Amino acid sequence: MRGEKASVAWTADDARFMSLALSLADEAKGTTFPNPAVGAVIVKDGKVVGKGATSRCGGPHAERNALTEAGDRARGAALYVTLEPCCHFGKTAPCTDAIIRAGLRSVVASAKDPNPLVNGKGLRSLGKAGIAVRTGLFEREATRLNEDFFFWITRRRPWVSVKLAMTLDGKIADLYGDSKWITSVDSRAFVHDLRRKHAAVCIGRKTLEKDNPRLTVRHGKTGNPARIVFSGKASAPPNSYFVRDAGETSRSILVVHGGRGRSRRTLASGVEVWRTGREESLREFLHAAYEEGIPSVLVEGGGMLASAFLEGGLANRLYVFYANKILGGGAAGFAFARPLSLLECVKIDQMEVVRFANDIMITGIPVRR
């Protein structure tokens, strides 16, 4: 059909190898900053001869690690990689050079790298070197995996995920204030995985005082996200995990809104205090977080903080867990300072539904008209 791009026919093997690459990338997620999380698999004669993921903190890229594992077997082999290989010098030399030098025969890349320094150039240089290049396999999954990173690079502020767990009637606590445990163990395991994939976890002051949460990653081999508490005062309960473990298992940052000045300093306890002023406090926080090298934050509640990000149009992805429960009253999860009309309400684009035991989770991109 004239004008139509021929669609690539992917084989079951293609899908299998790229799935493996995606799971390598997923495992590395949360540790690769300032690089995106990428996975790479090298296949020769139908067998995996090299696997790699992005190293921690600016170390070798996924392709390099896979090539190292493959050694000489890379010659004539195929590379499956979740993101277009880079073609520019950063902390490491271009991956495209290494791929060409290793004598790979073909490359399948899930997604192009939207970084303006790459953005198709990497694939073109491979093609010019005679390597067969195909793209688009699991593109959506691969792009999704680094959506926070691409946002951070292009928009120069952290990606904000908002997570709430509520009943089917939208309540995050019953009328006695009880919120433990609304959702099931399976959902909570997913939340620990979400934390691992974010650079920081945010809660409100009330949640700190009421729950004294650890905000750690269960079975976390790779360190914990920074803990951020939004507060009206510049001090925190000294016996809280937030203060006691400050700077030890992770950064503890107290974001103080109100007042006039903006400043950042570290207390003797190790707790960092960021003053954001009274106006546009959340935007000011995101600006500070960008400057401090925090590419993504997970807002875990309470409802006030989650609602503030959502109402301010500052939430990039929403995760709402619904337990199979109805209270008929209690604390609302989403409560805006100015509730919206049906015509101008927040819509959730690209909504997906996932089942966890007795809970369901919806996730998607909140859009304010």
> CB–CB of 203/302 below 8 Å?
yes
Q: Give yes or no for residue 355 binding a second copy (CB under 8 A).
A: yes
Compare residues 123 and 306 and give the one whose CB is closer to a second copy: 306
Residue 326 has a CB neighbour count (10 Å cut-off) of 11
> CB–CB of 224/249 below 8 Å?
yes
3-state SS, residue 51: strand
Compare residues 107 and 162 and give the one whose CB is closer to a second copy: 162
| Catalytic residue (one of 4, 27, 63, 291) | 63
Structure tokens at 265: 């300093």
Q: Which of residues 275-294 bind a second copy (CB under 8 A)?
A: none
Q: Give yes or no for residue 362 binding a second copy (CB under 8 A).
A: yes
**Distance between CA atoms of residues 369 and 365, nearest Å:** 13
Q: Give yes or no for residue 8 binding a second copy (CB under 8 A).
A: no
**Distance between CA atoms of residues 75 and 102, nearest Å:** 6
**Distance between CA atoms of residues 98 and 50, nearest Å:** 14
Q: Give yes or no for residue 130 binding a second copy (CB under 8 A).
A: no
Strand partners, 298: 161, 201
Compare residues 36 and 366 and give the one whose CB is closer to a second copy: 366
Measuring CA to CA, how many Å separate 132 from each of 105, 127, 152, 272? 7, 6, 31, 51
Encoded one letter per residue, x for contact with a second copy by CB under 8 A and - for no contact, window 153-182 reads: -------------xxxxxx-xxxx-xxx-x
Compare residues 57 and 351 and give the one whose CB is closer to a second copy: 351
The count of residues interacting with a second copy (CB under 8 A) is 50
Query: According to CB under 8 A, which one of 3, 116, 130, 339 is a site residue for a second copy?
Result: 339
Q: Give yes or no for residue 261 binding a second copy (CB under 8 A).
A: no
Q: How far is the CB of 147 from a second copy (least distance, A)?
A: 18
63 is annotated as an active-site residue: yes
Q: Give yes or no for residue 330 binding a second copy (CB under 8 A).
A: yes
3-state secondary structure 259-286: EEEEEEEECCCCCEEEEEECCCHHHHHH
Compare residues 95 and 310 and give the one whose CB is closer to a second copy: 310
Query: According to CB under 8 A, which one of 42, 70, 310, 314 is a site residue for a second copy?
Result: 310
**Distance between CA atoms of residues 40 and 69, nearest Å:** 11
Q: How far is the CB of 335 from a second copy (least distance, A)?
A: 6
**Distance between CA atoms of residues 238 and 253, nearest Å:** 14
3-state secondary structure 147-179: HHHHHHHHHCCCEEEEEEEECCCCEEECCCCCC
Q: Give yes or no for residue 347 binding a second copy (CB under 8 A).
A: yes
Q: Give yes or no for residue 349 binding a second copy (CB under 8 A).
A: yes
Token pair 């304010």 is found at: 368
Q: Give yes or no for residue 304 binding a second copy (CB under 8 A).
A: no
Q: Which residues bind a second copy (CB under 8 A)?
A: 166-171, 173-176, 178-180, 182, 307, 310-311, 320, 322, 324-330, 332-336, 338-343, 345-349, 351, 353, 355, 358, 360, 362, 364, 366
Query: Which positions are annotated as active-site residues?
Result: 63
